[in-house]
């Protein structure tokens, strides 16, 4: 017995074009599903750079002066919130270089999150070390980020105990971020403050758009489904008579 079906175009996980055989008994919706799910996303990466101007940004973050469990700020009229998973009281310093620090003088972790419905394409900030030779000053941090699609990760970087520690974050395939920050490694160590935060490409989040490969496969799927439906109508019109 030979199974009837259709060949379905797809891209495998390595991005190579191929074909899959789908049984007709699965029906048109299953064929379309196979087409849609076969498209592999494009390879992309989030990159970390060092240096005061290692990534392009176009907006300075303004920090509101105040003390509390959160500190607020803005960039180009879009709100920004600073929070910490380790420090219960944060201090926003608006005089001179805008900065956020901990009330106890040792900032163990800090995350800035942009206003809901917005994202940014790049960020740069300076992790200022604890003055003097503090025993618990950080020499390593986890740089963290959250993308608009829910992807989150951390990257380990060394930090100096004097001078500046500039870090930039961006994607190489149009990634959009909603938050970024750091956690001291280990978390019992820390820095003095995060300062001079700048963001690039701030804007409202757009609806997800299928990748070109997905569009191609979906169009192929619609064509195959249409052909199958026409074939079925022709089969239904066949009449057999016996003399």
| SS3 at position 167 | strand
Strand 177-184: give its sheet, edge to edge: 62-63, 71-75, 78-83, 109-114, 177-184, 140-147, 152-158
Whether residue 67 is predicted with pLDDT greater than 60 in this model: the reply is yes
Domain co-membership, 51 together with 37: no
Identify whether 75 is part of a domain.
yes
- CB burial of 203-231 (b: ≥16 within 10 Å; e: otherwise) equals eeeeeeeeeebbebbeebbeebbeebeee
Q: Residue 123 in contact with residue 60, Cβ under 8 Å?
A: no
Domain co-membership, 173 together with 57: yes
Domain co-membership, 160 together with 81: yes
Domain co-membership, 121 together with 136: yes
- CB burial of 14-30 (b: ≥16 within 10 Å; e: otherwise) equals eeeeeeeebeeeeebee
Q: Residue 115 in contact with residue 148, Cβ under 8 Å?
A: no
Domain co-membership, 66 together with 167: yes
Residues 171-203 pLDDT 10s: 999 999 999 999 999 999 999 999 999 999 999
Task: Calculate the average pLDDT of the chain.
Answer: 81
Residues 103-159 pLDDT 10s: 999 999 999 999 999 999 999 999 999 998 888 999 999 999 999 999 999 999 999
Identify whether 239 is part of a domain.
no
Show the tokens assigned to 159.
Answer: 């930090």
Q: Residue 28's domain spans which residues?
A: 5-42+212-233
pTM: 0.70
């Amino acid at each position: 017995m030979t199974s009837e079906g259709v060949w379905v175009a797809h891209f495998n996980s390595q991005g190579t074009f191929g074909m899959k055989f789908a049984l007709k008994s699965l029906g048109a919706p299953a064929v379309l599903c196979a087409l849609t799910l076969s498209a592999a996303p494009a390879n992309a990466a989030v990159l970390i750079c060092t240096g005061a101007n290692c990534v392009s940004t176009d907006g300075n973050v303004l920090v509101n002066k105040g003390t509390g469990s959160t500190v607020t700020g803005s960039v180009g009229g879009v709100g920004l919130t600073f929070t910490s998973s380790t420090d219960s009281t944060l201090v926003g310093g608006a005089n001179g270089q805008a900065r956020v620090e901990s009330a106890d003088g040792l900032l163990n972790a800090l995350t800035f999150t942009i206003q809901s419905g917005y994202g940014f394409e790049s960020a740069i900030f300076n992790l200022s070390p604890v003055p003097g030779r503090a025993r618990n000053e950080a020499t390593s941090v986890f740089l963290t980020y959250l993308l608009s699609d829910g992807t989150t990760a951390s990257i380990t970087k060394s930090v100096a105990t004097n001078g500046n520690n500039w870090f930039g974050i961006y994607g190489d395939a149009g990634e959009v971020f909603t938050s970024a920050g750091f956690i001291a490694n280990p978390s019992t160590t820390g820095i003095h403050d995060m300062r001079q935060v700048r963001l690039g490409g701030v804007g409202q989040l757009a609806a997800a758009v299928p990748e070109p490969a997905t569009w191609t496969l979906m169009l192929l799927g619609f064509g195959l489904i249409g052909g199958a439906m026409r074939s079925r109508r022709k089969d239904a019109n066949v009449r057999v008579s016996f003399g």
